[in-house]
DNA sequence: CCGCATCCAATCCGATACTG
DNA sequence: CAGTATCGGATTGGATGCGG
């Protein structure tokens, strides 16, 4: 239990649990968050639309992910009081501002996936 | 740069399991990968040095994360045959190229964490 | 149409003990 | 110093059924 943590470390130190980067990573780290944000990039979508568009997501995880995004102010949920219910989700300004860094990551993935797969092949066989 | 397509869908569709973005997210999605990469940003580090620097990581997870990064060609592991053993880890060129998009994400986190926390507060109390 | 509740299997991960 | 091996609690997440 030797605490290396000196009580006055800067809050952005990524090794502290309360740091922004850590919190963001905890949010986008899960399997679905980034996919949902991406699916909302083009504009508002209905619940069923998202479920159909994001291959493999279960109702449970889609709902859970949308709630978490809504809670963090990244997604706005609008309920239209009609029958049958119509619920639309769209990115907030904050949510849209996340698209740029996410896009950079996607760009990296596309540009470098071949190298990564090749390295994996080498590692497993060599 | 060869594509990894299988079937008729485009390889960059993030909803396909084999897509680069999905694979990258699976890699950086876990709790420790990004922290380890960050801890190696300044140069080579020894195993124990990393363990000490990354607060809260267990031996098991540190080793596991380093192996995964090595397998993907993002980290280079060098064993110096001396007693006691000396093992150094450092980012490869590929690994270093990941620092930019990761940095963009970190900047977003720092710039927007306050808004996220405020939204959370609203959601929980309102 | 939207989404919550429950069950349950799979996985993750920290703790602990041991090794060259 | 730099790991490996194993156990068990905690978490994740899919499947299913129900409710507004």
Q: What percent of chain B is predicted at pLDDT more than 70?
A: 88
Which B residues in the span 19-38 are in contact with A, Cβ-Cβ below 8 Å? Answer: 20-26, 28-31, 34-35, 38
Tell me what the mean pLDDT of segment A44-68 comes to: 95
Closest CA relative to residue B39, chosen from B75, B67, B6 = B75
Please report which confidence band the pLDDT of residue B115 belongs to, taking 50, 70 and 90 as the band edges.
Answer: very high
- Starting at the edge strand found earlier in the chain, the sheet holding B45-46 runs B45-46, B86-91, B75-80
Render pLDDT for B32-74 as a digit per residue (tens, 0 to 9): 898 899 999 999 999 999 999 998 899 999 999 999 999 999 9
Least confident of A2-11, A22-31, B5-14, B104-113: A2-11
| Chain B residues close to A21, C-beta within 8 Å | 34, 105-106, 109-110
Phi-psi region of B43 (alpha: psi -120 to 50; beta: other; left: phi over 0): left
- Min Cα distance B122 → chain A (Å) is 8
User: Which contacts qualify for A15-21: CB closer than 8 Å, 24 or more apart?
Assistant: A15/B35, A15/B53, A15/B54, A15/B55, A15/B56, A16/B55, A17/B56, A20/B106, A20/B109, A20/B110, A20/B112, A20/B113, A21/B34, A21/B105, A21/B106, A21/B109, A21/B110
Count of residues for chain B? 126
> What domains, with CATH codes, occur in chain B?
20-125 (1.10.10.10)
Q: Whole-number Å distance, CA A26 to C1' C14?
A: 18
Distance in angstroms: CA A64, C1' D14: 13
Across the interface, whether the CB atoms of B72 and A38 are under 8 A apart is answered no
Which candidate, A72, A28, A23, A27, places its Cα nearest to that of B118?
A72
Find the mean pLDDT for residues A16-30: 79
Q: What is the pLDDT of residue A106?
A: 87
Nearest to B123 among A14, A23, A71 (CB): A71
Which pLDDT score is estimated for A7? 40
* Angle (deg, nearest 10), helices B99-125 and A20-28: 90
Q: Is the pTM of this model over 0.75?
A: yes
Q: What is the dihedral of CA A90, A66, A27, B122, to 10 degrees?
A: 80
Chain A CB within 8 Å of residue B18 CB: no
Report CB contact under 8 Å: B108, A118.
Answer: no
Give tens-digit pLDDT for A64-118: 999 999 999 999 999 999 999 999 999 999 999 999 999 999 899 989 999 999 9
**Distance of B114 CA from D17 C1′ (whole Å):** 40
**E strand or H helix at B117, and its extent?**
helix B99-125
């Amino acid at each position: 239990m030797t605490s290396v943590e000196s009580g006055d470390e800067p809050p952005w130190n990524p090794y502290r649990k309360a740091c922004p980067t850590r919190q963001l990573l905890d949010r986008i780290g899960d399997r679905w968050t980034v996919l949902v944000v991406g699916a909302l990039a083009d504009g508002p979508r209905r619940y069923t639309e998202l479920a159909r568009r994001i291959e493999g997501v279960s109702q449970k995880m889609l709902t859970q992910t949308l709630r978490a995004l809504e809670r963090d102010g990244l997604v706005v949920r609008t309920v239209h009081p009609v029958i049958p219910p119509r619920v639309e989700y769209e990115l907030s300004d904050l949510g849209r501002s996340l698209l740029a860094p996410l896009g950079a990551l996607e760009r990296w993935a596309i540009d470098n996936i071949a190298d990564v797969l090749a390295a994996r092949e080498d590692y497993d066989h060599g």
